[in-house]
């Protein structure tokens, strides 16, 4: 859509320590500048591990690097006796702008259900962080329910009680496509992203549906990004593996429709 600036988001997962992260962001910025990239045409965000956030923020501030900074998770709590947790308030203090919530790896390895995801969405919004709400079906879900039923249900719960004016991002990530090299087809992605936009419309209204960016994620690379970006309801990509390779990620950011 014309009114939505595309968003390319790099989920680094548990990769790159703070020194590697700083070097990576510097190289990515140089690669884009060398290519005379139009930084206004697309929003870019990186989601490093928590321990990298301060260093990456300091670099981006000092070198005026126009990327967004995101975290990969947050606590549902404000502060207190929650060993190992990171609160939204702490992230905000580090100039973090957004936070991935409900990634399939959190859902699978940390038993995060839809109730926890919904609580985290509220915690993020409370602190002025944009939640990047991840939804998607497993291979088994796909076989038994088709592609859209599970992600639609997950998003309905995640948006319960969310204000119509809230700034959110939705990421459709079929679990079978994540890290598998087997991306969804652009048509499959479009079909589910359109249904997710309908959910945003039902829960938050027309304005929110028109404004909210819905990303596709799952084995996105330089070679397939343009085909996803041609879909009317796909507004960008959440990129895992390919966001860790400077030239590949730069090529994704410089996609041509």
Mapping DSSP onto H, E and C, the string for the chain reads CCCCCCEEEEECCCCCCHHHHHHHHHHHHHHHHHCCCCCCCCEEEEECCHHHHHHHHHHHHHCCCCCEEEECCCCCCCCCCCCCCCCHHHHHHCCCCEEEECCHHHHHHCCCCHHHHHHHHHHHHHCCCEEEEEECCCHHHHHHHCCCHHHHHHHHHHCCCCCCCCCCEEEECCHHHCCCCCCCCHHHHHHHHHHHHHHHHHHHCHHHHHHCEEEEECCCCCCCHHHHHCCCCCCEEEECHHHHCHHHHHHHHCCCC
Interaction of residue 217 with ligand PEP, rule CB under 6 A: yes
Of the residues 29, 103, 105, 112, which is catalytic?
Answer: 103
Applying CB under 6 A, among 155, 178, 193, 234 the residue interacting with ligand PEP is 178
Nearer to ligand PEP, 129 or 237 (CB): 237
Interaction of residue 45 with ligand PEP, rule CB under 6 A: no
Smallest distance, ligand PEP to C-beta of residue 15, A = 11
Interaction of residue 239 with ligand PEP, rule CB under 6 A: yes
Of the candidates 248, 232, 243, the one whose C-alpha atom is nearest the C-alpha of residue 12 is: 243
Applying CB under 6 A, among 133, 240, 253, 254 the residue interacting with ligand PEP is 240
Does 128 appear as a known binding residue?
Answer: no
Applying CB under 6 A, among 94, 179, 211, 251 the residue interacting with ligand PEP is 179
Nearer to ligand PEP, 173 or 191 (CB): 173
Does 15 appear as a known binding residue?
Answer: no
145 is catalytic: no
Residue nearest to ligand PEP (CB): 240
Does 11 appear as a known binding residue?
Answer: yes
Interaction of residue 238 with ligand PEP, rule CB under 6 A: yes
Nearer to ligand PEP, 131 or 217 (CB): 217
Interaction of residue 137 with ligand PEP, rule CB under 6 A: no
Does 176 appear as a known binding residue?
Answer: no
Hey, which residues are catalytic here?
103, 173
**Contact residues for ligand PEP (CB under 6 A)?**
11, 173, 178-179, 217-220, 238-242
């Amino acid at each position: 859509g014309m009114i939505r600036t595309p968003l390319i988001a790099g989920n680094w997962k548990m990769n790159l320590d703070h020194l590697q992260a700083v070097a990576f962001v510097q190289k990515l910025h140089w690669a884009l500048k060398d290519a005379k990239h139009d930084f206004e045409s697309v929003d870019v965000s990186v989601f490093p591990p928590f321990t990298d956030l301060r260093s990456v923020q300091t670099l981006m501030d000092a070198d005026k690097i126009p990327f967004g900074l995101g975290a990969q998770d947050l606590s549902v709590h404000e502060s207190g006796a929650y060993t190992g947790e990171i609160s939204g308030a702490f992230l905000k203090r580090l100039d973090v702008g957004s936070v991935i919530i409900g990634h399939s790896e959190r859902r699978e390895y940390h038993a995060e259900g839809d109730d926890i995801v919904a609580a985290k969405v509220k915690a993020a919004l409370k602190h002025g962080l944009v939640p990047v709400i991840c939804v998607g079906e497993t291979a088994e879900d796909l076989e038994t329910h088709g592609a859209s039923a599970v992600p639609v249900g997950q998003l309905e719960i995640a948006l319960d009680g969310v204000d119509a004016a809230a700034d959110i991002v939705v990421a459709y990530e079929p679990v079978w496509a994540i890290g598998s090299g087997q991306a969804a087809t652009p048509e499959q992605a479009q079909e589910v992203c359109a249904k997710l936009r309908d959910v945003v419309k039902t829960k938050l209204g027309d304005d929110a549906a028109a404004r909210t960016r819905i990303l596709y994620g799952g084995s996105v690379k330089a070679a397939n990004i343009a085909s996803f970006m041609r879909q009317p309801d796909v507004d960008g990509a959440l990129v895992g593996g390919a966001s860790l390779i400077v030239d590949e990620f730069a090529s994704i950011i410089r996609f041509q429709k």
